[in-house]
């Protein structure tokens, strides 16, 4: 009975709280449709091995991207976060522990504050881009995030590269190329939440396939802040509105 309740909860949450069509209009799911620019985004890291492998591929392809990082993973692998920034990528928050339930709370903001603090401690700046775990966003969670100055970033191209066992990179790549439009935000996963090390290959392999194909179609890869024309960071001491 409990397992059935969880499954029903997942279906309801995915249907009514997640982008691109739901979440009560609080997500930004894509950029301008009249610009041939798109954004690769990666959730759940950083983790050793998997994030390192992906960064190597992104560097070889010169494809700037955006990483939505989990606070506990940031504390476990701060050098990887700094490497992301050093190599021209953008860093946003993906909460402290990747909990769907935390965002359902009517009053608890610790998951936001602690995830933000991990990034401040590692980078010296406050992130201003946020992606809720699993894409679940309630109206009250959106108000909390907007009050803290966040742009809440969704997606219009979703992938199953997070699945275990890993899907075939070619199949994931075909789906991305098929669904991408001007202004698209592509949601992928570079690691596994709360795991310091993860041997994940499909994401890096998929990126190696899609970047040349999408460039051949005329697309330019940019970070989310560039695509949406919003700030990616603020000073840590800046007061909240």
In tens, the pLDDT along 160-191 reads 999 999 999 999 999 999 999 999 999 999 99
Which residues make beta-bridge pairs with 157? Answer: 186
- Whether 146 is a known active-site residue: answer no
Annotated catalytic residue: which of 30, 43, 98, 190?
43
Annotated catalytic residue: which of 94, 98, 111, 189?
189
The answer to whether the predicted template modeling score (pTM) of the entire model surpasses 0.85 is yes
pLDDT at 19: 73
Using DSSP's 3-state secondary structure scheme, residue 208 falls into helix
Mean pLDDT along residues 98-105: 86
CA–CA separation, 90 vs 85, rounded Å? 6
Looking at the chain, how many residues does it have? 241
Contact in structure between 199 and 50 (CB atoms under 8 Å): yes
Burial of 8 (C-beta count, 10 Å sphere; 0-12/13-18/19+): exposed
Q: How many CB atoms lie within 10 A of CB 25?
A: 9
What is 130-190 written as a DSSP string? E--GGG---HHHHHHHHHTT-EEB--SEE--TT-SSPPPHHHHHHHHHHH--TTBEEEEES
DSSP annotation of 196 reads S
CA–CA separation, 172 vs 101, rounded Å? 28
Tens-digit pLDDT profile for residues 106-163: 989 999 999 999 999 999 999 999 999 989 999 999 999 999 999 999 999 999 999 9
Helix axes 78-86, 110-123, angle to 10 degrees: 70
Q: Which domains can be identified in the chain, with CATH numbers?
A: 2-229 (3.20.20.370)
- Whether 89 is a known active-site residue: answer no
């Amino acid at each position: 009975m409990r397992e059935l309740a969880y499954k029903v909860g997942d279906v309801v949450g995915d249907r009514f709280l997640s982008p691109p069509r739901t979440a009560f209009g609080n997500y930004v799911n894509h950029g301008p449709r009249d610009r041939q620019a798109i954004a690769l985004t990666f959730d759940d890291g950083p983790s050793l091995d998997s994030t390192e492998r992906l960064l190597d591929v992104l560097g070889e392809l010169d494809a700037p991207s955006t990483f939505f990082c989990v606070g506990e993973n940031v504390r476990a692998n701060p050098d990887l976060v700094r490497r992301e920034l050093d190599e021209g990528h953008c860093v946003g928050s993906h909460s402290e522990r990747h909990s769907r339930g935390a965002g359902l709370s009517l009053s608890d903001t610790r998951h936001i504050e602690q995830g933000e603090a991990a990034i401040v401690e590692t980078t010296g700046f406050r992130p201003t881009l946020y992606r809720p775990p699993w894409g679940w966003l309630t109206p009250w969670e959106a108000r909390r995030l907007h009050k803290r100055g966040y742009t809440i970033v969704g997606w219009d191209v979703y992938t199953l590269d997070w699945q275990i066992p890993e899907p075939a990179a070619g199949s994931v790549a075909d789906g991305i190329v098929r669904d991408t439009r001007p202004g698209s935000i592509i949601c992928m996963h570079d690691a596994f939440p709360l795991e310091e090390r993860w041997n994940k290959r499909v994401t890096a392999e998929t990126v190696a396939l899609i970047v040349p194909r999408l460039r051949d179609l005329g697309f330019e890869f940019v970070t989310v802040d560039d695509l949406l024309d919003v700030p990616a960071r603020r000073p840590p001491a800046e007061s909240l509105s």
